[in-house]
Amino acid sequence: MADDVQVVPEMKTAVSEKNKEKAERFKNDGNEAFKNGHYSDAVTMYTNAIEWDPSVAVYYGNRSFAYLREELYGAALEDATTAIKLDPKYIKGYYRRAASLMALGKLKQALKDFETVTKRVPSDKDAKLKLNECQKLYKQKQFEWAIRSDDKSTSVFDTVDPTTIVVEDSYTGPRLIDGKVTEDFMQQLIPHFKDQKPLHRKYALEILLQIRDYFKAAPSMVEIPVPEKSKFSVCGDIHGQYYDLCNIFDLNGLPSTENPYLFNGDFVDRGSFSIECIFTLFGFKLLYPNHFFLARGNHETDNMNSIYGFRGEVKAKYSDQMYDVFTEVFNLLPLSHLINKKVLVMHGGLFSKPDVTIEDIRHIDRNRQPPDSGLMCEILWSDPQDQLGLKASKRGVAFEFGPDVTENFCKLNNIDYVIRSHEVKPEGYEVSHNGRCITVFSAPNYCDTIGNLGALIIFTGGDLTPKFVTFKAVPHPNVAAMSYASSMFRMLGG
């Protein structure tokens, strides 16, 4: 991604009073939808307002805010920039642009916009607070970058030794026997977590050490053979919603050699029970390594974890050092899975280049934080679109790809269809691109506010036709989503 903010041409359009009135009505409808948390509807209303009167900065600023809430940071940035171009005195435009830039990791540019606000409105205490927070975050990231080592031969695990950690007599939770995850351990772990009790640090580190070693030896693309009459289940985003994860197991059965699963990324962030989710998933992976599969999502990355809660949750429940351990493990998660050589599963989507093959995916160097472009970025971030071809994503990262792109990819690689996650859907799933692209999202009532269903996909090895199971959210303890989010996230609503 280019670091330069897009410059939008000046708009000089004569607008009739009748059109202005229509635009205002749409804006008011958009404000009502936004207030009720219906951000997609708000975007539609603000878009209608802009179509009737494209000269009003507030319409773009409001749509930018709605895009921010939908995490479409590229579109939010573009609208905020347009608003500022239309009205350089529109202070909220600078707020919106700063928030968009921060979400895209461009803290230095965000600082400039906060500085602009504080200079123009010196009495704005909120602007000063956000400027100070942004400065702290920028300095923190600069420091982390300065001390970061590219030497993959060194490991944070070198600084921890679970064998030296003493388990107190007061600990009543599940214990690893001889360091091994067993069926009995998992049967104890799930209710232990449901009771909001922590897994002891010793066992947490032992699990992370074992899962690190396992994924270190795994390829970037894992092939999964499913026998002809065997059932196989694919789940999408979980996002720290532990009690909904447990509900999946209640509805569809616990993982076992006869009941295999693939969880397709975004295990953590947003929901406030990410620790419980990730240790449950890692535990089942160690218990059933050939029948339980995990793929990396765009939220198994440091940038996302630092904003959307996982880093804060790990720090609150364990330590900063434990977070560094998780970061190293997440870097090793596979990026995709190929089921019976006919169904490709990855978190985000397809690619901007028309000639990407399964072999190319197999050879992606994944042991790192994702770059801003290229195959690794796109497989984690891309989304399907209804239109033909490609266009830059509204997220500000990767691309949106059309049905022709999917068709070409499937034919080139001789596969039936692709499964991806990454996007909340009202019914928990969506079939698009003439059945060649399926989205599955398994976090119902996302962030305790969206009201969507969750879904999972079931098929058998002999019949890869997907069957969908949908489910509602279940109650959880009174800990709100985003409880562990960073100050940066709170600034995104500025």
Which residue numbers are catalytic?
299
E strand spans, 140-291:
221-224, 231-235, 261-263
Of 484, 435, 473, 482, the closest CA to residue 457 belongs to 435
DSSP secondary structure letters along 280-345: HHHHHHHHSTTTEEE---TTSSHHHHHHHSHHHHHHHHS-HHHHHHHHHHHTTS-SEEEETTTEEE
| Backbone phi, psi, residue 360, to 5° | -60, -45
Indicate the burial class of 40 (C-beta count within 10 angstroms; 0-12, 13-18, 19 or more). middle
Element (H or E) spanning 142, and its range? helix 125-147
Which residues fall within 8 angstroms of residue 457, CB to CB, at 6 or more apart? 233, 234, 235, 419, 429, 438, 440, 466, 467, 468, 469
384 three-state secondary structure: strand
Give the span between the Cα atoms of 439 and 425, in whole angstroms: 8
Beta bridge partners of 168: none
Q: Is residue 331 within 8 Å of residue 217, measured between CB atoms?
A: no
Q: Are strands 336-339 and 221-224 parallel, antiparallel or unpaired?
A: parallel
DSSP 8-state assignment for residue 9: P
In the chain, the N- to C-terminal Cα span, in Å, equals 24
